Amino acid sequence: MKKVFAIALALFAMTACTSNRTNPFFAEWDTPFGIPPFEQIREADYIPAIQEGIRQHDAEIEAIVNNPEAPTFDNVITAYDLSGGLLNKIVGVLFNLAETDNTPTLEKIVEEATDLISRHANDITFNKDLFAKVEAVNNQKASLDLTREQEMVLDKIYRSFADEGIALDEAGQARMKEINTELSALSNRFGNYLLKENNAFKAKFGVAVSEYTEAMTTEEDRAKREEMFRAYSNRGNNGNETDTKEIILNILKLKEEKARLLGYENPAAHILSDKMAKTPETVDAFLANIFKYAVARAKEEVKDMQQVMDEDIKAGKVETGATIQPWDWFYYAERVRKAKYDLDEEITKPYFQMENVREGVFNTASKLYGLQFEKIENAPKYNPDVEAFKVTDADGSLIGVLTTDYFPRESKRGGAWMNNIRDQYVTADGQMVRPIIVNVGNFNKPTADAPSLLSLDNVETMFHEFGHALHGLLSQCHYTTVSGTSVARDFVELPSQINENWAFQKEVLAGYAKHYQTGEVIPDELVEKIIAAGNFNQGFMTTELCAASILDMKWHELASVEGIDIAEFEQKACREMGLIDEIIPRYRTTYFNHIFNSGYSAGYYSYLWAEVLDKDAFELFKQKGIFDPETAMSFRHNILEKGGSEEPMTLYKQFRGAEPDPDALLRARGLK
């Protein structure tokens, strides 16, 4: 079989050659640490490579199914976990580029690739002969003497079949395949539409979506602020060719049908069945409690801002009778902050040059976990803005590769995120494969007059995404099924959010916050102001985040969206939750990328859920010392290295010694 397959691959590679050129995906990459040779890969390479990757994966699955030996963990579960290597190699490159350096041609390629991969995934998910092998292993698991990681891998793989409808009849399975394929296509289209909407916003105002908050903070013209707010908050809701409403309703209809086929009342019940929260009712109660404290504080913040606006009214700068509106919040909140704390971001920014902040992020990880970072000169890159770093452990052994891509461009979607180009795992012959991780942001680009200077929020974002990177880099699992960030969605934000806590600690700031012109370390007086203002505007920030989480749940708790108007439903949801008129959800429905394109459906609450864990965990660091070696290594070994190899709460309690205090979040945000 292997010989025949090798011949088939050689023949296919020949057909993929032009002028003796072989598709780069069919060769071993002779690059530093196996970084993809981006400069060699052509857009025409992707589809042939994916087709071959699917053929190889099909052959690997067939080999598992046709193995005449009795099903064992190794010949079924391990073989399944290791299968699809070529396909994973291609996907790791293609879908990262689709988010960071998209082109019209690549957009079409991704649409075709998404369809091919979705159909291929369906064929595996509904392969009854393969499931029979998995089920046979699962039925004997009590007698197999498995490690805890192997038990988790087996359970996750078994559930990937059982929870996706392997028990459905033939008609049900056929329909489920159609649903999965349609959902993949619609999700991809939503992302493409939103990218175009974001670019249209920038073309109109000269401001990237990622720069919106900062622009609203400094824009003195109230009419201009209102115009920008309405354009920003109506993305995807303009009745044009990139309007997302129809896509959203179709996505929700398909999710609802899928939930019904699987015996669940609604999509939320289905999605949450394997998360820490388990049920929609648990999430709803969790969010309602936080929202109560957040909105109460937000109302106080409105009063503070109205006082400043009233002064502007008296001075004739604002019309008589004006009250704070959503487009006023960022502007007047900044005015209040300056008055209360004498803190001006235009004064702090010069101390937060992007490269210095990144160095601060690296140094923090070095102090905590013993990691070292070395820039890889002449590393392959898909865009000139990208930089790559070799990450090693205290003993010099390789941890992995981190690439950073921090500046906005029209080909990149908005926001910030972490992704894997290559997962961490152990090969069949026992070789450790170390990961290649991507951190992406949309920070201010350097100008002719100044380098990239970050806002306080940008600084926090860089620390956040690097926390995700640590989760991927430090993984010490055997199986890709559970390695790195392959954990429950409401646990995955713990490593990222706890890492934010070091960003503005005095001893951390002293090491990286240096004026880009003079090299002066940030003055103690300014540090005190930053710390004092740390919980400023938390009513607003918690309310908008909580409101978006509740809106997400409201959509996914519906049994049917038939006849629903998106705008009316959103207004009703906001009214019922008690959202004040001065605030809108952090993401309105028509541009809620997290839940319609990024895997956070009925899961946006995860940021707040994980924050309970992270704030409770950081209280231990504060008790022991924020760089206490024993505490740091306990967090590394029990959380960052473990991936999904154990139940999340078990991992947390192994680190903390107890379950988290649910009020830790409220205390940290100054809400209780």
Q: Are 425 and 477 in contact, with CB atoms under 8 Å apart?
A: yes
Q: Using only C-alpha atoms, what is the Rg of the chain?
A: 25
Distance CA 446, CA 484 (A): 33
Contacts 24+ apart (CB under 8 A), 202-208: 202/410, 204/231, 205/231, 208/408, 208/414, 208/442
Residue 257 designated active-site: no
Distance CA 495, CA 652 (A): 11
Distance CA 131, CA 160 (A): 10
Given 164, 219, 334, 465, which residue is catalytic? Answer: 465
Closest-CA residue to 222 (of 133, 321, 325): 325
Q: Are 160 and 125 in contact, with CB atoms under 8 Å apart?
A: yes
Query: Could you write out the DSSP letters of every residue in 300-320?
Result: HHHHHHHHHHHHHHHTTSS-T
Distance CA 357, CA 514 (A): 9
CB atoms within 10 A of CB 76: 25
Distances (CA, A) of 113 to 46, 49, 91, 126, 418: 8, 10, 9, 20, 22
CA 539, distance to chain mean position in Å, is 24
Strands (E), 271-359: none
Q: What interhelical angle do 329-341 and 280-314 show, nearest 10?
A: 70
Kindly compute the dihedral angle of the four CA atoms of residues 577, 414, 487, 76, in this order, to the nearest 10 degrees.
130
Give the full edge-to-edge strand order of the sheet including 398-405: 372-375, 387-392, 398-405, 436-440, 417-422
CA 493, distance to chain mean position in Å, is 8
Q: What does the block give as tokens for 228? A: 């920008």
Distance CA 515, CA 517 (A): 5
Catalytic residues: 465
